[in-house]
Amino acid sequence: MKRFLNKNILITGSANGIGKATALRIATEGGNLALIDNNSEKLKELCNELSFFPIKFVSAVCDISDYNLVKICIDKLAEELGGLNGLSHNAGILRVYKTLEMNLNQWNELISINLTGTFNVNKHALPWLLKNKTSYLVNTSSSASEQPHPWLAAYAATKGAIKSFTRSLFIEYFQHGLHANCVLPGGITTDLANSFSFPEGVNKELIKTLDPLGQKIYAEPAKAASVIAMLLSEDAEHINGTEIAIDGGKV
């Protein structure tokens, strides 16, 4: 299956987890890649892996919370590839706080990277995407936008906002050929998910509310990447302005 032959896909958060798995999945299907991440060493490792595929790929180290830098990076990568046909935006951070103890700097960190970063990436990718008759955009939200997660109030707020933001993009630009959808991962074994730790002194029983019937359901990032790849392809021609949960049925 080579759904991405002669297609150029921009992937953020591409050096780890779901972003990396998506880059490898697109590469196996013949797609060219524009890669963005803030971890230069991990990005180099990914590029080394991609060198075995008969595709073109370009990369840039970028802090997605920096509006001007994001524009510079996306424009440069898109020009090098000769345009963009799709965007998979995965970059983000996870922080765990008791809400009453969270300070403004901690709140703003999550907002600036997860939410403002989503705006920055989408805003600067859209002019390239809309040059095509049809284009595909997939933002990564989270099951935390649908299901109450203890100690993740700020994180969940950013992920819920990403979902609403993406729906608005759909209704604004579907007449220009844009397909804008979200995925809602939950229980994916990424470094981000593994960074979850309990705040001191909390009731750890609350975390059990995230596991239906007491069963812990986890999946490798490749499972999420397969759904994102579908949403970036012509297989998603009749899917727009919606979300797909990738959580094993948790929500």
CATH code of the domain covering residue 22: 3.40.50.720
What length does the chain have?
Answer: 251
pTM of the model: 0.92
Q: Is residue 70 part of a domain?
A: yes
* Residue of 67, 97, 136, 155 marked active site: 155
On whether the CB atoms of residues 76 and 62 are closer than 8 A, the answer is no
* Residue indicated by tokens 């975390």: 207
Domain extent for 239: 8-246
- Number of domains making up the chain: 1
* Nearest C-alpha neighbor of 33 from the set 63, 3, 18, 12: 12
Give 189's pLDDT tier (boundaries 50, 70, 90): confident
Q: How many CB atoms lie within 10 A of CB 251?
A: 14
What tens digit of pLDDT does each residue of 94-145 get?
999 999 999 999 999 999 999 999 999 999 999 999 999 999 999 999 988 8
* 152: its two tokens: 């993740």
Paired with 32 in beta bridges are: 8
Q: Is residue 190 part of a domain?
A: yes
Average pLDDT value for residue range 19-40: 98
Q: Is residue 125 part of a domain?
A: yes
Q: Which amino acid is residue 25, in one-letter code? A: R
DSSP 100: G
Known catalytic residue at 67: no
Cα first-last separation, the chain: 31
Q: Is residue 251 part of a domain?
A: no
Residue 172 and residue 239: Cα distance in Å, rounded? Answer: 15
Q: Is residue 3 part of a domain?
A: no
Residue 115 and residue 212: Cα distance in Å, rounded? Answer: 29
